[in-house]
A and B are shown apart, each in its own frame.
Chain A
Amino acid sequence: MAVQQQGSNVVVNRSVAGSVFPTSERELVFPVLIDGSEQAVLIGGSVYGRSLELRGDVRVQGPVVSRGDTVLNPGTHRIQLDSGITINGSLNCRYDPLQPLPSLQDGMDAARVIVKGDIAVNQGVYLRNAIVFGSIRATHCVLENSLVLGTCLVDESLKVRMSTIGGYASRDVTFEGHCVMLHSLGESLNAPVFAPMETAPGSVHDADVRYYPAIRHGRGLMNRLQQPDVKYPAYARLYPQTDWVRATTLANPALDEEHQGQVQKWVLSIGGRISDISKISEAVNSLTQMLKCGFEFEHYAPAIRRQQLDKALAPLTDEERWILQTVCHTA
């Protein structure tokens, strides 16, 4: 049997065509372990568990819902969630610090976790070497060597470490090391913090945030300034002193802000910069088309699926193309 009960755990170690749901009242309180460390596990439907651990090579095609905490432990494999994840507790990407693996800084195919859809978490999110083809909603969020194509709506603190995000709205935000903003969308209640990042080998990288449309062609989705042969134009940098401005505004309806009336916020804005609007427009349109195609791919008629994909792939860069083909499973 693919779904077994071992003690007070539900263990799935082989592929299941349908969903993994509790079948009795007592199974509602059992933790669920989906173990793909021995052989790849494909769950054709959804997964629900009191708490969840996904281990090894696991792919879940339906939504993943967990009442408690969820651990993603891909090891040297890849965990792929095709319909987002909703968690009442926390979401953690576990990794072995003594066994350093290639990261997204080395290439997109080093991604250990790929989530298509939104990540909605009631508490904290810690993602490492992850690609989120959607947005993140959480109370605390730490992204390390990760890429979020959507936005991060974080009630309290957002830490972006050597990562790329589409936009953010948070109470506090910290950029550590080399980061990229896909869009100039960001607001925080407190002033953003720009801090150096110390990586595992011991090297320290100063904070450097780049604007993606200005570095899009030929340079990838991550800020790889630490690599010796990578150079970025100065105009691609987002400067804390000029591009983050303080504004008087109302509380953001997307956040649990309890402020009444007007508040002072720090907003990322490149409105005053002289720029090539056509390039920004091209980048935004391409990324939007990529997200649209990725989310709608399974809903297209099979006859035009390939045609729609090719249309969306045409204006994309290599890394963007790899991501879209991976989430559409056409790579």
Chain B
Amino acid sequence: MSTQGPSGISYAELNSAISSLRSEMRGEINSVRNEMRGEIRDLRRWVESEIQRLEDEMREVGEMIVSAINKQTVAVVGGVAATTAMLERTKQQMEEDFQATRGRIEVQTESTLQIEVGKKVADATGLKGKLEAFFQDIRTRYDRSLVGVGLNYELYNQNFQKITDDYQSKLRTIGEHIFRIKLEDIAPAVKAARVPYEDAHSLPIEMDLKRLSARSANLDETLNLLKTSRLDEVIHSLDALDHTLKAYTDAGLAQRRSNDTLCVQGLAISSGKDLTVLSGHAALRVQGDQPVSLQVADDSLAAFNGSAAKQRIAQQVPQHSHRAPTPDEVVRLSKAADSLGKKNLISADALALFEDFLGSGKLSVLEK
């Protein structure tokens, strides 16, 4: 971008004008100098030609005289002395005249040359003065332009500052307005979007969950009350019936029991590294971080949980074939585990672990 003053002339344009003027003047001076050299050369040539012409004329005159004398020598032998004297005088006169003519011609030539040179010098001097005046004028104008440029520069700075200040002011005004619109007009939307609806409505959801858990506990309590007031009585009545029947048949049964074969159901879990045998255990509700809570419910079956039983089962396990559980068995196992979880007989973590184990496909079932 070119710097431009208020006058509308840029520095580049000014420099270009000065350069063109300088080259123009240099050309003019050179042309004048060449012209003067040509003039002087012409003048010198003319003077030399004039001198040559005069010399030629004088030589011709001399030769004519000499030839005439030679022609008349034979005829005028008698008056040689007088003629010789006369000729001598004539020759002398002619030499004097020639010298005088030559001196006059030289003086005239010199004066003409001086006049011409003076004229040319006067012209050159006048041209030099003109050039000097022109130079002076240019220098003055240049200096004046520099002052003008300086003044324009200051003016430009002032105007530029004004424009910048105005621009900053307008920018600030626009910015203030934009921010005012953002803060005042858009604020309701920003405020509305600030809190997610999940947070805004968390209280009713928490209240629903709390009331659900309270309701669940309430129903559990009702169920327990129902059990103790109704079902326990029925269960106990069955026990009472068994007890009564036992009293009647005790003697006969005692006789027969010695020959009976008792079957004990148990659960053996083998992972290849460890073997667990559970028989006669009852599951209790888990508490805290317990995965499962088991308790031996029947001490008479303790022998089936001992090391001998473990060894026996460990020997039996490799002798039977294994198979992967069928999908139906997996579903039933999953449902059974889910049911245990709902009854709080296994923890949620244990339930998740069991589901993962079922999903891994590593469970195998021992064939009978």
Q: Which residues of A contact B (CB under 8 A)?
A: 25, 28, 48, 65-67, 84, 86-88, 118, 120-122, 135, 137, 150-151, 153, 167, 169, 184-187, 245, 247, 249, 252-255, 265, 267-272
Task: Give chain B residues whose Cβ lies under 8 Å from the Cβ of A186.
Answer: 204
Taken together as a complex, chains A and B put the C-alpha atoms of A35 and B140 apart, in Å, by 72
Tell me, yes or no, whether B266 is within 8 Å of chain A by CB. no
Select which of A28, A86, A272 is within 8 A of B186 by beta carbon.
A86
Whether B192 is near chain A, meaning CB under 8 Å from some CB there, is yes
A245 engages B211 (CB within 8 Å): yes
Q: Which of A88, A249, A267, A269 contacts B185 (CB 8 A)?
A: A88
The answer on a CB contact under 8 Å between A253 and B203 is no
Q: Which of A67, A150, A153 contacts B184 (CB 8 A)?
A: A67
A120, A265, A268: most-surrounded residue (chain B CB, <10 A): A120
Of listed B185, B186, B209, B215, residue having the most chain A CB within 10 A: B185
B187 proximity list for chain A (CB < 8 A): 88, 122
**Complex Cα distance A75/B211, Å?**
47
CB of B188 closer than 8 Å to a CB of A = yes
Give the distance in Å from the alpha carbon of A120 to the alpha carbon of B187 in the complex. Answer: 9
Q: With a CB–CB cut-off of 8 A, which chain A residues contact B215?
A: 271-272
* Of B108-116, B193-201, B281-289, the one touching chain A: B193-201
**B192 pairs with A153, CB closer than 8 A:** yes
- Residue contact A269 to B204, C-beta cutoff 8 Å: yes
* Across-interface contacts of A118 in B (CB, < 8 A): 189, 192-193
Out of A135, A137, A185, name the residue touching B188 (CB < 8 Å): A137
Task: Check B104 for interface membership: any CB of A closer than 8 A.
Answer: no
Minimum distance in angstroms from A283 CB to a CB of chain B = 15
A169 to B201, CA, bound (A): 7
Check A66–B185 contact: CB distance below 8 A.
yes
- B188 pairs with A67, CB closer than 8 A: no
Query: Is B188 a contact of A87 with CB atoms below 8 Å?
Result: yes
Complex partner residue of B199 from A135, A150, A247, A253, CB under 8 angstroms: A253
Bitwise interface map of B from 189 to 224 toward A, beta carbon under 8 Å scored 1, else 0: 101111101011101110111111011000000000
Task: Decide if B80 is an interface residue (CB 8 Å cutoff).
Answer: no
B177 within 8 A of A: yes
| A84 to B203 alpha-carbon distance, docked (Å) | 27
Is residue B363 contacting chain A, with contact meaning CB distance below 8 A?
no
B189 touches A151 (CB 8 A): no
Among residues of B, the one whose C-beta sits closest to the C-beta of A67 is B185
Contact A252 B185 (CB under 8 A): no
Instruction: Collect the chain A residues with CB atoms within 8 Å of residue B181's CB.
Output: 67
In the bound complex, CA of A121 to CA of B203 (Å): 24
Are the CB atoms of B184 and A187 closer together than 8 Å?
no
B177 contacts across to A, CB distance below 8 A: 25, 28
Contact A271 B210 (CB under 8 A): yes
In whole angstroms, how far apart are the Cα atoms of A241 and B142 in the complex?
101
Q: With A and B bound together, what is the CA distance between A150 and B193 in angstroms?
A: 13
- Asked if A65 and B204 sit within 8 Å, CB to CB, the answer is no
Q: Is the CB of A267 within 8 A of B207?
A: yes
In the complex, what distance in Å separates the CA atom of A249 from the CA atom of B206? 10
Beyond known contacts A120-B192, A137-B191, A267-B203: 18 more, CB 8 A cutoff: A48-B185, A67-B184, A86-B189, A87-B188, A88-B184, A118-B192, A120-B189, A137-B188, A167-B204, A187-B203, A253-B195, A253-B200, A254-B195, A254-B199, A254-B200, A265-B203, A270-B208, A271-B211
Given contacts A120-B189, A122-B187, A184-B204, contact A135 B197 (CB under 8 A): yes
